[in-house]
C-alpha cells in the first residue's frame, strides 16, 4: 500500500479472560475528528458496492465481524485489501477510488466518517475521478 494515501492500521485489543474489547478514539487510531458512523451488513453474495471516491470525506473501515475485500485505485495503481480482523482499520482517504466486495455472510463493515453525509461529496463517475485526481 506504499503508494496509496490510504493505509492499514493495526489496533491494540484490550483482551482479558472475559473476551476482547477494542477502543477507537479521535486522533488516535482514527487520524481525524469524526461526525458519522454507519455499518454495512447482510450484503448479498456476489454484490460489489462503492464505485466512487470523495472530495473531502475521510473514512475508517473496520470489519468488526466476518470479512470483505476493498479494491483501491489511485489512477496510478490498484490494490486489493482483505479486511478480516476487528483489529485492523483501513484509513480510506478521499482520493482513493474504492469498491467493496467478497462480503462473507456474517460481515459487518463498520465505517467511521469525518463528515456528515452529503451526496455532493461523492465522485461516482470514473472520468471525473481521473480529472480531479489524475494530475
Ligand atoms: C463509502 C463506502 C465505504 C445515507 O443516506 N447516509 C449515509 O451516511 C450513507 C453512508 C448512505 N446513505 C444512503 C445513500 C444511498 O441511498 O444510503 C444508500 C446506500 O449508500 P451507498 O450506495 O453510497 O453505499 P456504498 O456501500 O456504495 O458506500 C458507502 C458510503 O456511502 C461511502 O461513503 O465510502 O460505503
Domain boundaries, the chain: 7-133
Nearest to 92 by CA among 43, 50, 47: 50
Q: Which residue has the cell 473476551?
A: 19
Q: What is the CATH number of domain 7-133?
A: 2.60.120.10
- Cell representation of residue 18: 472475559
Q: Residue 30: pLDDT band by 50, 70, 90 thresholds?
A: very high
pLDDT (0 to 100) of residue 13: 93
pLDDT (0 to 100) of residue 135: 77
pLDDT tens readout for residues 51-86: 999 999 999 999 999 999 999 999 999 999 999 999
40-59 burial, b if ≥16 CB within 10 A, otherwise e?
beebeeeeeeebbbbeebbb
Pocket test for ligand 1, best of 37, 39, 49, 69 (most atoms within 8 A of CB): 49
Ligand 1 centre and the CA of 27: distance in Å? 23
Question: pTM of the entire structure?
Answer: 0.96
pLDDT tens readout for residues 84-98: 999 999 999 999 999
Is-catalytic flag, 54?
no
Amino acid at each position: 500500500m506504499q503508494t496509496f494515501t490510504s493505509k492499514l492500521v493495526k489496533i491494540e485489543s484490550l483482551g482479558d479472560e472475559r473476551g476482547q474489547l477494542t477502543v477507537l478514539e479521535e486522533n488516535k487510531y482514527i487520524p481525524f475528528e469524526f461526525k458519522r458512523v454507519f455499518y454495512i451488513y447482510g450484503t448479498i453474495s456476489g454484490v460489489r458496492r462503492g464505485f466512487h471516491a470523495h472530495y473531502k470525506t475521510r473514512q475508517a473501515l473496520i470489519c468488526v465481524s466476518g470479512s470483505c475485500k476493498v479494491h483501491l485505485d489511485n489512477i496510478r495503481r490498484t490494490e486489493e485489501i482483505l479486511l478480516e480482523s476487528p483489529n485492523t482499520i483501513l484509513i480510506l482517504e478521499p482520493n482513493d477510488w474504492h469498491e467493496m466486495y467478497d462480503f462473507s455472510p456474517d460481515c459487518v463493515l463498520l465505517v467511521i466518517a469525518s463528515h456528515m453525509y452529503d451526496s455532493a461529496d461523492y465522485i461516482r463517475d470514473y472520468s471525473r475521478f481521473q480529472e480531479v485526481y489524475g494530475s
